[in-house]
Amino acid sequence: MQTASNYKILVVDDDPDIVELLQYNLTKEGYEVAQADNGKRAIEEAKTFKPDIILMDVMMPVLDGIAACRQLREINDFRNTHVIFLTARAEEFSEVAAFDAGADDFIVKPIKPRALLSRLAAFARREMNQEEEDLTIEIGDLRIDRTSFAVYRGDEKITLPKKEFELLAFLAATPNKVFSREELLNNVWGSDVFVIARTVDVHIRKVREKIGENNIRTIKGVGYKFNTD
């Protein structure tokens, strides 16, 4: 079982002072760290370094972080890699764009090393807890395999990015129970992750596009449930 101390982290930022700060603190905690100064180099470095987590700035030359994240998510090896955006831009549209591109988290600069290290440890804890849960969920012709992060409808395999998969698996684990957006954020993203309610809506929309409209039902004014009707 992987622990926080043996994760590989790729730091991507065009500000050398931020890279140095992150590399120092992450290495001190026992993480293996690589770096890149733009999105294009991040993709190249990721292919050889195989990071578990990518800390990536949004605004960078050559290729920005959001475009780089979209390209990484199209590569099978990085569909489930944690991508955490680092940015000085706190506007809502930036956050929505980041999660729409496939991000797992969003951290606003200036970065506080202790808070960041706590956030990374939380990712590891959630993965450990997920490993202890039932490995397969079967509802009707839908099968959710936690070991391969794959969804099957009959013989058709549907591959989802990690956060979309986790959202679907969480809802399907308790079918017909209604969860508010806040409950979904806390259980799927974690209470220590700063995200907005719209993040849930974006991910629900993307899951529906892939598995169909009928499985996840919107309860107006309340939230969402996995529908078995």
Return the top range by mean pLDDT from 2-16, 18-32, 98-112: 18-32
Residue 1: the pLDDT is 44
Calculate the CA 121 to chain-centre distance: 14
**With contact defined as beta carbons under 8 Å apart, do 84 and 107 qualify?**
yes
SS (H, E, C) 64-100: CHHHHHHHHHCCHHHCCCEEEEEECCCCHHHHHHHHH
User: What is the set of domains in the chain, with CATH numbers?
Assistant: 4-130 (3.40.50.2300), 133-226 (1.10.10.10)
Residue 101: the pLDDT is 83
Residue 103: the pLDDT is 84
In degrees rounded to 5, what are phi and psi of residue 149? 55, 40
Burial (0-12, 13-18, 19+ Cβ within 10 Å), 108: middle
- b/e burial code for range 144-181 (CB count within 10 A of at least 16 → b): bbbeebebbeeeeebebbbbbbbbbbbbbbeeeeebeb
**Does the structure show a pLDDT above 80 at 147?**
no
Is the C-alpha dihedral spanning 10, 15, 20, 26 positive or negative?
Answer: negative
Tell me which DSSP letter residue 6 carries.
G
**Does the structure show a pLDDT above 50 at 173?**
yes
How large is the greatest C-alpha to C-alpha distance in the chain, in angstroms?
A: 55
Residues β-bridged to residue 137? 144
**Does the structure show a pLDDT above 50 at 178?**
yes
First to last CA, the chain: 38
At 229, the amino acid letter reads D
pTM of this structure: 0.65
Q: What is the mean pLDDT of the chain?
A: 85
pLDDT tens column, 13-61: 999 999 999 999 999 988 999 999 999 999 999 999 999 999 999 989 9
**Does the structure show a pLDDT above 80 at 127?**
no
**Does the structure show a pLDDT above 60 at 134?**
no
Angle between helices 197-211 and 92-100 (to 10 degrees): 30
